[in-house]
Amino acid sequence: MIKIATAECFTHGKIGRELHAIAQGYTGNFGRDYVENPESYGNFNYNELSVICSLFIPTIEAVKSVLQIENPPEPTTLIKGIKCYNEAEDKKVSKIMAEAVKKITDCDIAIGTTAGIGRGGISIVTNDYTIITTSDIASDLRENNSEELFQRQENGIEKCVKILLFLLNDDFDSIESMNNIKIIEK
Amino acid sequence: MIKIATAECFTHGKIGRELHAIAQGYTGNFGRDYVENPESYGNFNYNELSVICSLFIPTIEAVKSVLQIENPPEPTTLIKGIKCYNEAEDKKVSKIMAEAVKKITDCDIAIGTTAGIGRGGISIVTNDYTIITTSDIASDLRENNSEELFQRQENGIEKCVKILLFLLNDDFDSIESMNNIKIIEK
């Protein structure tokens, strides 16, 4: 069983939910919102996938209390307690969030996401690799433009779920062909 | 500021997400999926609402590791690590989950949900009250009937969000008029 856990901000826990629907073989209304045919990504048996938890962590308080990160980087600003970083910081913080949920749950693959000003940060952490990327759409949480935030979110979810499915199918070429990907081998 | 945190199973973190959208005033595609007009529930100023976190916790492992519940009730069965209780146990476990996330986050209102065999359990815990209910639709997680699980989920989310909005507006009469409600005053 491959165990996955997520700690998500701008993607609102939807990456974990999508992977959970794939893992449980849900269909129809209860099925996938982002990936119609996960089998097209390779031969991985998705029945061997388990989503341990999917945590939506928008506030700096929950970063500390739920993810047990004692000293997270100082946000550029707080919006009703919601952490707002710039893109360079978002990439760092998404990695810190992924590492934290991996430590707490002892999962095989952990995902962290956060997006304030810019395209946001997405990190995928396994025992062997850390993959860091951004979404492909910039927005600014301070401007509270619902449609733009929605577009950034949708793009980030789709991109992260795709990376995950390529990863489960050992298809690093496809991951590397995507925009703005950094792969760190441990 | 009224701080809310959720620990959800069968509602997949969507209660917390809906309340977050209301609190942030999101509109259009990024807006509410379940409540069109929260202002119709009373005079509460939703800008005074903050969702600290919304945790989707399907597995017994995450109940222990993320919610720090050392000895949760023994599930009737486990489905790939996902806890499956009967309805009486679900009500108890939803309360335990709500109390756990309240303790971790120190929030004002905590929500716990879980549903295996039956209508599921939904608990809302504040400093003064514990409200326990079920959804109004029965299903059985072991049968993995996506459409039925979806209907139970939708019903549970709508019912819980409504209770929350009535609670924020001090409208206990409306809460008491709903199906299968137990209110415990502390």
Angle at B22 between CA B29 and CA B41, to 5 degrees: 120
Are the C-beta atoms of A19 and A9 separated by less than 8 Å? no
Interface probe, candidates B20, B32, B65, chain A, greatest A C-beta count within 10 A = B65
Q: Token digits for B100?
A: 């756990």
Q: Token digits for A59?
A: 């506030």
Q: Token digits for A132?
A: 């860091």
Inter-chain CB proximity A28 and B80 less than 8 Å: no
**Nearest CA distance, A139 vs chain B (angstrom):** 14
User: B51-100 pLDDT, tens per residue?
Assistant: 999 999 999 999 999 999 999 999 999 999 999 999 999 999 999 999 99
Q: DSSP assignment, residue B46?
A: G
Chain A residues whose beta carbon lies within 8 Å of the beta carbon of residue B17: 12-13, 56
E-strand ranges in chain B read 2-8, 49-56, 77-79, 82-84, 109-114, 117-118, 121-125, 129-133, 139-140, 182-185
Chain B residues whose beta carbon lies within 8 Å of the beta carbon of residue A65: 52, 104-106
Q: Is B154 helix (H, G, I), strand (E, B) or coil?
A: helix
Instruction: Determine the residue type at B66.
Output: V
The CA dihedral of B142, B148, B149, B154, to the nearest 10 degrees, is -160
Inter-chain CB proximity B53 and A52 less than 8 Å: no
Q: In angstroms, how far is the first alpha carbon of chain B from the final one?
A: 22
Burial of B9 (0-12, 13-18, 19+ CB in 10 A): buried
User: B124-161 pLDDT, tens per residue?
Assistant: 999 999 999 999 999 999 999 999 999 999 999 999 99
User: A115-155 pLDDT, tens per residue?
Assistant: 999 999 999 999 999 999 999 999 999 999 999 999 999 99
User: A1-57 pLDDT, tens per residue?
Assistant: 999 999 999 999 999 999 999 999 999 999 999 998 999 999 999 999 999 999 999
In 3D space, the residue among A125, A151, A98, A79 whose CA is nearest the CA of residue B29 turns out to be: A151
Q: Residue B115: its pLDDT value, please?
A: 98
Q: Residue B21: its pLDDT value, please?
A: 97
Alpha helices in B53-144, H assignment, sequence order: 60-65, 87-105
Are the C-beta atoms of B10 and B150 separated by less than 8 Å? no
- Average pLDDT of chain B to the nearest whole number: 97
Are the C-beta atoms of B156 and B10 separated by less than 8 Å? yes
| Predicted complex ipTM | 0.98
